[in-house]
């Protein structure tokens, strides 16, 4: 993949348990880092969920193989800096054949975390 195809700017977030001040803990997504990425749209599907139509978009996100990117795991969230679109990351990144890129499956239009 050519570096020029990294046309998305994504922020990656991880869920951490935080105290709410009353002694209770709740999970909140905390930003970890931003990086350029490529988004390859796979195939949309419409699912009836809780009595309403929901649009789900499967994508493959590709980022450079670097120390930060290797921290990403299933359960993280990616958010497009420009559009605000959120992607639930469903798998740990897979190394490309040339070992320069990491690719992982993500979905928009679903509950994250």
- Residue 56 has a CB neighbour count (10 Å cut-off) of 15
Q: Given this model, what pLDDT does residue 112 score?
A: 62
- Sequence-distant (6+) residues with CB within 8 A of 20 are 26
Range 3-108 classified under CATH 2.40.10.270: yes
More confident residue, 108 or 69: 69
For 23-65, write each residue's pLDDT tens digit: 777 788 999 999 999 999 887 555 555 445 567 788 999 999 9
Token pair in block for residue 60: 């493959």
92 SS3 class: coil
Contact 67, 58 (CB under 8 A): no
- Residue 46 has a CB neighbour count (10 Å cut-off) of 10
For 83-103, write each residue's pLDDT tens digit: 999 999 999 999 999 999 999
Q: Is the pLDDT of residue 16 over 70?
A: yes
């Amino acid at each position: 993949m050519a570096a020029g195809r990294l046309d998305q700017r994504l922020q990656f977030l991880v869920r951490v348990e935080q105290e709410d001040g009353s002694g209770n803990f709740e999970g909140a997504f905390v930003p970890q880092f931003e990086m350029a990425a490529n988004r390859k749209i796979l195939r949309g599907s419409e699912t009836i969920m809780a009595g309403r139509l929901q649009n789900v978009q499967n994508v493959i996100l590709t980022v450079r193989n670097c120390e930060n990117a290797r921290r990403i795991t299933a359960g993280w969230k990616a958010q497009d800096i420009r559009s605000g679109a959120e992607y639930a990351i469903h798998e740990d990144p897979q190394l490309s054949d040339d070992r320069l890129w990491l690719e992982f499956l993500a979905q928009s239009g679903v509950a994250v975390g």
